[in-house]
Amino acid sequence: MRQLAPEFRAYEWAPPTDEVARIAGIDPSQVLRFDQNTPPLPLPSTRPGAIAGALARVSGYPGGGYRRLRAAIAAYAGVEPENVVLGAGADDLILLCARAFAGPGDTVALPPPPTYPLFRIAAQLAGATTEPGSSRSDEPGSRVLTFACRPNNPTGALDALPDARPLVVDEAYFEYAGESAVPLIAEDDEVVVIRTFSKAFALAGARIGYALAAPETAAELNARQAPAPVSSLSAELALAALAAPPDVAPVVEERERLASALRALGLDPLPSHANFVYVPVDDGAGLGDRLLRQGMVVRASPQAIRISVLDREDDDLLVEALARVLDRPSPVAAAGGRRVRTLRATAETRIAVRLALDGASRVRVASGAGLYDHFLEQLAFHAGFDLVLEGAGDLETGEHHTAEDAALALGGALDRALGDRRGIARYGDAVVPMDDALARAAVDLGGRAQAELRLERDPGLAGHVLASLAQSARAAIHVEASGRDDHHVAEAAFKAVGRALRVAVRRESEGLPSTKGVL
């Protein structure tokens, strides 16, 4: 094998989730990853249905030169299909550019440190030597290639574009910054822009990215690329994602909220143009290690930690953990004690649940099953839970699967959060009037599933959703609800079940709530 430069270091991953779980002494499902700069959940378009056609044809090679995908990428980026080069992630295209432009004896200019390590790795694998931070064309020396990273990983900075050529601009986080070098490729055949579906499009596991360049440059790169660099399944997922591109505004807003919570903790995050924040600290490695022992993974270096923006609930858990580790008062409200996170995936739906029983009624339900999302929100709110239930289902066939699976997922999370059910009140009941409707509910959390539901009216699936909840929560739920309006009857029923649960989950003693001594 050809020798690599003695200073060569391969890419290093953080410990995998099951290893973190083992170190932290928790279940892998409870590990929080703030180190990947990827969204916490796939987009709604990423569903088994999106790849069903490609799966049926998976015995053949990706056909047609990815024509549909090239056209969709070109339309998204405002260029033509002949400007597009496909790759298995931005990494594949960084490696392609390095070997296309550089070889033994050449020098490649890297962005100023700290930056994404793959530029150095790719240049060294091509046999070239690297010069960090030298990106101006009037500097002495002959560089065959200059890499720029905009926004830069790990700092989030959006530095000025170097004027050196040839220039490869990594825009993995372009969507969060909105600023691009793509307009340059119309006049300059020495500029290549690299982008990915791993970040804003939440397809990191699918390994798909693209480069954009002048037609002759793109043709040269394509000639040097593998014949079929992207799987047909990944190509379909990317097409589905491009048909409904994500709105990154909530991530940008949450980034600023997280940054101000970190400042309230006495830390000093740098301004960021991406979906992460870079926080200089004295002992980054030590801090990262202490967070890891609590099941939270950040990207740590000796002088900083880099935190990916997830969402308010998860980011607040990290802020709380940082406050504990640094022994400072937490600037965010503590989430409740009995807490779980679960993911339920079937061929029809994918539902992620985060549930805290001792919460403060902070509730968000978004499965797409409109009315039933609203009813589950009412139930959790009146139970006093903190609940985030997110997911996507095959709504083309109606709300049935999605509403049922959302209830099954919530019930399953409730069952897990109750653990061995030691010390809970077990029984609860409530009466809820709502305009013309009146609902009475009683629940038993003794561990046996039963649903006795008498709803005088039902907008469709209310009874079925409550029965699904009872089944997976291993609860007996009795409801009588009457009134003149379907919606009111159902909503009163869900609220009454919520109020009854609030009583039944209450912790009263250390013992098992059964005269038999077992549940």
User: What tokens appear for 192 in the block?
Assistant: 């290549």
170 forms part of the interface with ligand PLP (CB under 6 A): yes
Instruction: Work out whether 447 is an interface residue with ligand PLP (CB under 6 A).
Output: no
For the bound state, the minimum distance from the C-beta of residue 185 to ligand PLP, rounded and expressed in Å, comes to: 18
Query: Does 116 engage in binding with ligand PLP (CB under 6 A)?
Result: yes
111 contributes a contact to ligand PLP by CB under 6 A: no
Contact between 239 and ligand PLP per CB under 6 A? no
Rg (CA), the chain: 27
Burial class (CB in 10 A: 0-12, 13-18, 19+), 190: middle
Report the residue number, 157 or 434, with the smaller CB distance to ligand PLP. 157
Q: In the complex, what is the shortest distance from the CB of residue 463 to ligand PLP, in angstroms, rounded to a whole number?
A: 45
- Among 42, 156, 209, 269, the residue binding ligand PLP under the rule CB under 6 A is 209
329-366 burial by CB neighbour count: b if 16+ within 10 A, else e?
ebbbeebbebbbbbebeeebbbbbbbbbbbbeebbbbe
Q: How far apart are CA 338 and CA 358, in angstroms?
A: 6
Cβ atoms 192, 217 nearer than 8 A:
yes
Nearer to ligand PLP, 36 or 107 (CB): 36
Helix (H) / strand (E) element for 150: namely none
The correct pick among 32, 34, 37, 96 for binding ligand PLP (CB under 6 A) is: 37
C-beta of 170: minimal distance to ligand PLP in Å?
5
Binding piece for ligand PLP, criterion CB under 6 A, among 66-74, 85-93, 106-114, 468-476 = 85-93
As measured in angstroms, the least distance from the Cβ of 107 to ligand PLP is 21
Cβ at position 168, least distance to ligand PLP in Å: 11
Using CB under 6 A as the binding rule, whether residue 35 contacts ligand PLP is answered as no
Q: Which of 45, 124, 198, 275 binds ligand PLP (CB under 6 A)?
A: 198
Which stretch, 84-92, 249-257, 288-296, 443-451, contacts ligand PLP (CB under 6 A)? Answer: 84-92
Does residue 241 sit in helix, strand or coil? helix
Give the up-direction half-sphere exposure of residue 69: CA atoms within 13 A in the CB hemisphere.
28
Nearer to ligand PLP, 209 or 513 (CB): 209
Taking contact as CB under 6 A, which single stretch among the options 89-97, 140-148, 318-326, 419-427 is the one that binds ligand PLP? Answer: 89-97
Q: Is 234 in the site for ligand PLP (CB under 6 A)?
A: no
Q: For ligand PLP, which residue of 40, 44, 81, 89 counts as binding (CB under 6 A)?
A: 89
- Cα separation of 72 and 272, whole Å? 29
DSSP annotation of 424 reads B
- Whole-number Å distance between alpha carbons of 400 and 308: 35
Could you say which of 172, 242, 380, 442 contacts ligand PLP (CB under 6 A)? 172
Asked if 124 contacts 98 with a C-beta cutoff of 8 angstroms, the reply is: no
Q: Which residue has 């909530």 as its token pair?
A: 250
Closer CB to ligand PLP, residue 149 or residue 191?
149
CA gap 466, 11 in Å, rounded: 49
Could you tell me the CA-to-CA distances from 82 to 53, 181, 182, 219, 238 in Å, in that order? 26, 17, 14, 8, 18
Residue from 519, 501, 335 nearest 425 by CA: 501
Contacts of 139 (CB under 8 A, 6+ apart): none
CB closer to ligand PLP, 16 vs 419: 16
> Residues 43, 90, 96, 379: which binds ligand PLP (CB under 6 A)?
90
Min dist CB 193 to ligand PLP, Å, is: 12
Residues in contact with ligand PLP, shown as a per-residue x/- string from 145 to 164 under the rule CB under 6 A: ----x---x-----------
Which residue in the block uniquely carries the two structure tokens 């709504």? Answer: 395
Residue 454 has a CB neighbour count (10 Å cut-off) of: 12
Least distance between ligand PLP and beta carbon 322 (Å): 22
- Minimum CB separation from ligand PLP for residue 152, in Å? 7
167 versus 490: smaller Cβ distance to ligand PLP: 167
Q: Which residue has the tokens 């940054």?
A: 259
Q: Select 116 or 278, whichever has its Cβ closest to ligand PLP.
A: 116
Q: Which is nearer to ligand PLP, 177 or 493 (CB)?
A: 177
Residue nearest to ligand PLP (CB): 89
Q: Which helix (H) or strand (E) element contains residue 224?
A: helix 215-224
Strands 107-110 and 143-149, sheet pairing: parallel
**Using the rule CB under 6 A, which residue among 204, 264, 366, 512 binds ligand PLP?**
204
Spatial distance between the Cα atoms of 387 and 356, rounded to a whole number of angstroms: 7
CB of 133 to ligand PLP, least distance (A): 16
In the numeric block, the tokens 């061929």 are attached to 347
With CB under 6 A, what is the number of residues at the site for ligand PLP? 13
How far, in Å, CA of 515 to CA of 344, rounded?
Answer: 34
- Residue ranges in contact with ligand PLP by CB under 6 A: 37, 89-91, 116, 149, 153, 170, 172, 196, 198, 204, 209
